[in-house]
Amino acid sequence: MLETQFENTPKRMVYSLDAIDEAATFVLRESEHKVILFSGEMGAGKTTLIATIVKQLGGIDRVSSPTFSIVNEYPCSDGRLVYHFDLYRIESIEELNEFGFDSYLNTNAYIFIEWPENLYGHQPLEANRIFIEESAENERSLILY
């Protein structure tokens, strides 16, 4: 399991989907890095949480899953950019290299990555990791490393 790579003490939160704004605020406040890796089962709420975080950062556009485009770029009202990756369909490190994944990491932008397991051991060194799971109906458990 990749979580052993993250040595800082985990921070935990349980939230209802009605209180997702609080979860987004928690992530922005508690994350030490602008690169955040999101893990969880399909349907756990990764994209929904990312959409709320982007909105809190001043995102102008509607956030959608970049499952087929691999990366979506969202401008913010203050001129910043947010990059949102969905690596679910990535099958090799060569595919990541084809669209210049490393060049995104060399920006000062927020970068949210779903399915970081498909980075094939090339996780950014300076990143936080979030695990989301459904803990009850309409409730999620979040662990931030």
pLDDT tens sequence for the chain (145 residues): 334 344 568 999 999 999 999 999 999 999 999 999 999 999 999 999 999 999 999 999 989 888 888 999 999 999 999 999 999 999 998 998 898 999 999 899 999 999 999 998 888 889 999 999 998 888 999 999 9
What's the pLDDT at 121? 81
Long-range pairs, 5-13, Cβ under 8 A, ≥24:
5/123, 5/129, 6/128, 6/129, 6/145, 8/32, 8/145, 10/143, 10/144, 10/145, 11/143, 11/144, 12/141, 12/142, 12/143, 12/144, 13/141, 13/142, 13/144
Domain boundaries, the chain: 10-144
The arrangement of secondary structure in 10-144, i.e. its CATH architecture, is 3-Layer(aba) Sandwich (3.40)
